Amino acid sequence: CESSIQSRIIDIFSHDGPGFREEIFYSLQYQKIKEIIHHYIPQSALIGMMLEHHEKYVVVKSKRIGIMQHDPFSWIIEGGDFQYEEDINNMAIIANNTLQLWLDSLNDQNRELFVDILYSVINATGAKTF
C-alpha cells in the first residue's frame, strides 16, 4: 500500500492465512512491514502453510482435527489468550512438505488454477466456515 497508509499500520495478524510467492519477500514493501506480521496457525495447519512463509508463526491448539482446524472458532482460548503448541504436528509437516514440493513444480498458471479449484471445492460445500 502507499507509504502514507503503511506508516499507520501498527500490527498485521494472519490467522491461518496462506503465504506469498517467493518474490514478495524481497520487495521493499514487504521488508518495511515484515517485523509487524504475526502469523497464527493451528497444529494441523495446511491452508496457513501454503506457499512461502518467511515470518515466524505461532501454533494454536484446536478442538478439531485436520483441515477443520482452519476454522478459528475451533481454536482453544483460555484465560483470554490462545492455548499454544510448540510446533505443528508431524502429519502436518509431512502434508505441507509434500504439498509445497508439488506446488513448486507448477507454473504460475497451474498454481493459480489449483488455488481456484481448491476454493471452488470448499465453496461448493455451502459451508460458511470449515
pLDDT in tens, 13-63: 988 887 777 788 888 888 888 899 998 999 887 765 666 666 688 999 999
Q: According to the model, what pLDDT value does residue 75 have?
A: 95
- Rounded Cα distance, 38 and 42, in Å: 14
> Residue 15 belongs to what H/E stretch?
strand 12-15
Give this prediction's pTM. 0.71
More confident residue, 130 or 89: 89
What value does the mean pLDDT take over residues 79-105? 87
Q: Which three cell numbers stand for residue 20?
A: 506469498
